[in-house]
Amino acid sequence: MAGGSWLFPDGVDRERMLEMDQHLQPVRRAVFGLVALVLIASGPWLGWWTIVPVALAAIAFRIADTKVKHITHPEYALFAAWAASQVVIAVSVALMGGPNVPTMSWLAIPILTLGARFSERGIAVGLAFTFVLLFAVAFGVDAQAVIDSPPRLLAPLALVASVAMFQTVLMRSDVKYRAQAVIDPLTGMLNRKALAQRGAELQEQSRISAQPIGLIVGDIDHFKQVNDTHGHAAGDDVLKDVAYEMRKQLRAFDLSYRIGGEEFLVLLPGAELDRAVSLAEQLRMAIADEPRGGQMITMSFGVAASTPNEVFQYDAAFAEADARLYEAKRTGRDRVCPHPALPAVA
């Protein structure tokens, strides 16, 4: 999956959106079915043509659901499908009589799904878009009715705004606890849970973009001696300082993870083997250059990378890099060993 976008500055939000969309799909179908039944039952009074926009909205979401796993920025497709559903609801409400019927409040239904999938920016844009539709339906169908009785418009506006405010609070809470679940509390790095999802995303990204992806596995040399000699608090200070230095050396879109006690992993979208080896050597020298957590330490690194036009396979790449890390440890530590077996950098 690609890096940040206007709707989603980071990958955690995108992961949350895709997961929630899977849960929302059956509920969304049920809601479309319920609305369709109401419109069918109301056909003798409102006309049968009102069912057409709902059918079109269902089709739009169906198309988005099939495409979302195969595009770089799925959030745009899902937001477009969401906006399309609001438009067709607005059209249905307009056909039924606009401000003269109680179905104006139906435009609050899709607002319920905004906070479940999108960031505050997405909620704000969705709310503004819905307000525009409400005004367009109200004044476009029967402006005089709204002028004579403003609550015909004010009540739906208040309902939509209230739902959006509650959704913002729920979204913030969800993001907060998700962050706690995927971030290592000691180092602030992403953890294994976040890595599992990211590996699958990068595999799909490489399939679409044909770009290489590098993988670095690093391990602090003789870390047990630090804990045994200076205590676990000193060991924690070393880990925190190493994590900080690694983040300083990485590009904005590289991702670093703590995957074990003193073991770290870095994913490098767009990096071939020589670039990944160069960065691993940069990390090795930076960490050994000055005390970390009050201790002079070194690190060993194993490196692997896919080639351009090759689909990145996370499990295979990790196994290769881990084997190279073992080789670096076996041959003296404080070195970088790449795969395939090129001369080690030390």
Same domain membership, residue 231 and residue 302: yes
Q: What is the model's pLDDT at position 9?
A: 62
Examine residue 159 and state whether it is found in any structural domain, yes or no: yes
Parallel, antiparallel, or unpaired for β 299-305 and 336-338?
A: parallel
Domain of 202, CATH number, reads 3.30.70.270
Domain limit, last residue, from 159, 182, 205: 182
Q: Are residues 127 and 274 in the same domain?
A: no
Which one of 152, 182, 212 terminates a domain?
182
CA angle 19–25–27, rounded 5-degree value: 115
**Domain annotation covers residue 187:** no
The reply to whether 35 and 175 lie within a common domain is yes
Are residue 19 and residue 162 in the same domain, yes or no? yes
Residues 19 and 156 in one domain: yes
Domain identity same for 147 and 31: yes
Do 19 and 150 fall within a single domain?
yes
Instruction: Judge whether 53 and 91 are in contact, CB under 8 Å.
Output: yes
* Helix 192-209 × helix 314-330 angle, to 10°: 120
The pTM assigned to this predicted structure is 0.53
3-state secondary structure of 193: helix
Read off the pLDDT of residues 172-183 as tens digits, 9 standing for 90 and up: 766 665 555 678
Q: How far apart are alpha carbons 213 and 206 in whole angstroms?
A: 7
pLDDT at res. 202: 83
207-213 average pLDDT score? 85
Integer Cα distance of 99 and 233 in angstroms: 66
Q: Two tokens at 16?
A: 């949350």
Q: Is residue 54 part of a domain?
A: yes
**Range in 35-44, 155-164, 320-329 with the lowest mean pLDDT:** 35-44
SS3 of 72, please?
coil
Q: Is residue 282 part of a domain?
A: yes
Residues 243 and 301 in one domain: yes
Query: Same structural domain for residues 282 and 136?
Result: no
Residue 5 lies in a domain: no
CB neighbours of 128 closer than 8 A, spacing ≥ 6? Answer: none
Q: Are residues 135 and 82 in the same domain?
A: yes
Average pLDDT of span 145-169: 92
Q: Which of 274, 239, 275 is nearest to 254 (CA)?
A: 275
Q: Name which residue leads in pLDDT, 213 or 96.
A: 213
Same domain, 282 and 319: yes
The answer to whether 95 and 139 have CB atoms below 8 angstroms apart is no
**Segment (H or E) for 266:** strand 263-269
Q: Are 141 and 226 found together in one domain?
A: no
- H-type alpha helices, the chain: 11-41, 43-46, 51-67, 74-96, 111-117, 120-148, 151-182, 192-209, 223-230, 232-249, 273-288, 314-330
Residue 268 lies in a domain: yes
217 occurs within a structural domain: yes
The residue range of the domain holding 38 is 11-182
Give the C-alpha separation, 247 to 237, whole Å: 16
- The CA distance from 202 to 182, in Å, is 17
For residue 152, tell me if it sits in a domain. yes
Which residues neighbour 223 within 8 Å (Cβ) at sequence distance 6 or greater? 235, 238, 261, 262, 297
**Domain end (from 161, 182, 203):** 182
Ranking 56-70, 185-199, 231-245, 324-338 by mean pLDDT, the lowest is 56-70
Average pLDDT over residues 30-38: 81
Q: Closest Cα partner for 223 from 209, 207, 241? A: 241
Domain count for the chain, please give it.
2
